[in-house]
A and B are shown apart, each in its own frame.
Chain A
């Protein structure tokens, strides 16, 4: 069989069905939007209960993370995410899912080498590069500060 990689690559692209972008986007928009609305609702509720704006924000995040952990453990989050994609990935609930799911998965390897070591296998890079980015911005901000004020 004589064929070069490029020809095959073109054949592969033609033969592979694309993701249904419009449907995927609609799912992501509405599910992601619903999660954010739930967050807004919780924030309003906490403020109505007398918490300060900062405390209400922290409580809202904590509640969403706890709920995501619970729904992940029940197997519901993954079922929703299979349709919602970025809609469930981007909000803070997605981050919680990325921590809880390996913690559950690697229980079988024990608490230390399994749960402890593997818990951040997906979320770890987000923390590492998130912190790195904040440090980099801190340095940049320090240099720019005389010009931009603040």
Chain B
């Protein structure tokens, strides 16, 4: 493990041993529907609260990942997980059902890349033999916490994004074969004074731009070295801004894709500027990116999860929205080192 600037490069890149993604009803109507391991069209999961439902989503996701990898929870040395609820309760309550060391994270929608990055460091450093990263979000739980009650008659602006109901979980180990985490660049908080809670893509785009620039500077690589560069949930507006920001720095990103635009069909699903939420990049990583890497259809990609780190309180107090983005460099199994 070596560090160059903000980037940690792995000498023995940890392997993605197993992964799973679970989605809800709207996700089941989206372009990636067939890729999910499990689709739960009842958003409440039969529970009395949306918070309990989100915990169920997280639990099912980790269970599915373990099952796919032929693993038991006891074989994990740690789980890095987070979500959007106050005090990260969706993850903590889900972890009541697993007898595994739990490390709660709050990175808003950037949680998945943060968790995978930390898990990879732990596995390569030998502190954990096998570690999982997981992130979840739930449209209904997020709406009542950050915006208005579900049944409230409000109008969404064209820049608003739709919180993904879903979760993704990834188990890393040090064994050979399979997609690998080659490097991670942990992001820095960036705030360009965006105060519109309905335009979070714009709040996060500068952070994503800067993390990408840091990674490229640290490694000497160019975007053309990668089959794709995925961002978490910049949506239509944030993606547009990312391209413009990078262009100002002389970097073109021809192979950019955004998880928030992959998970929904923006034209027909009435999601305004695209998907968002901690579960957005987590689910797309586990149902789309990792399978393509495993099949060898993609050889080397950059994957960023982007987060908007405000709360309802800071928003009401008129504070601007700090953005963050963590980056993973992922490779297919074939390439090895």
Chain A interface residues (CB < 8 Å from chain B): 1, 3, 5, 8-9, 11-12, 15-20, 24, 72-73, 75, 77-78, 80-85, 88-89, 94, 97-98, 100-102, 104-106, 108, 122
A18 to B50 alpha-carbon distance, docked (Å) = 32
A73 to B153 alpha-carbon distance, docked (Å) = 12
How many B residues have CB within 8 A of the partner chain? 35
Q: Are B209 and A8 interface neighbours, CB within 8 A?
A: no
Q: Are A94 and B153 interface neighbours, CB within 8 A?
A: yes
B213 interfacial by beta-carbon distance below 8 Å: yes
Q: Are B159 and A1 interface neighbours, CB within 8 A?
A: no
A83 to B51 alpha-carbon distance, docked (Å) = 28
Cβ contacts under 8 Å, A108 to chain B: 48-51
Main secondary structure of the interface of B (DSSP, over half): loop
12 contacts between A and B (CB under 8 A): A1-B245, A12-B194, A17-B158, A19-B157, A20-B158, A82-B270, A97-B151, A97-B152, A101-B149, A105-B152, A106-B149, A108-B51
Select one of B149, B151, B153, B248 contacting A89, CB under 8 A: B153
Minimal beta-carbon separation of A135 from chain B (angstroms): 26
Main secondary structure of the interface of A (DSSP, over half): helix
Minimal beta-carbon separation of A20 from chain B (angstroms): 8
Cβ contacts under 8 Å, A89 to chain B: 153
Q: Are A78 and B151 interface neighbours, CB within 8 A?
A: yes
Cβ contacts under 8 Å, A83 to chain B: 155
Interface-central residue, A9, A77, A108, by most chain B CB under 10 Å: A108
B123 interfacial by beta-carbon distance below 8 Å: no
Minimal beta-carbon separation of A64 from chain B (angstroms): 14
B97 interfacial by beta-carbon distance below 8 Å: no
Q: Are B158 and A72 interface neighbours, CB within 8 A?
A: no
Interface-central residue, B51, B153, B237, by most chain A CB under 10 Å: B153
Minimal beta-carbon separation of A6 from chain B (angstroms): 9
B244 interfacial by beta-carbon distance below 8 Å: yes
List residues 142-165 of chain B with CB under 8 A from any CB of chain A: 144, 148-159
A30 to B159 alpha-carbon distance, docked (Å) = 25
Cβ contacts under 8 Å, A84 to chain B: 153, 155
Minimal beta-carbon separation of A1 from chain B (angstroms): 5
Q: Are A18 and B158 interface neighbours, CB within 8 A?
A: yes
Cβ contacts under 8 Å, A8 to chain B: 192-194, 206
Nearest 8 A/B pairs, CB to CB: A81-B153, A105-B149, A101-B151, A108-B49, A101-B152, A85-B155, A101-B149, A8-B192
A19 to B160 alpha-carbon distance, docked (Å) = 11
Q: Are A1 and B209 interface neighbours, CB within 8 A?
A: yes
Cβ contacts under 8 Å, B213 to chain A: 1
Q: Are B241 and A12 interface neighbours, CB within 8 A?
A: yes
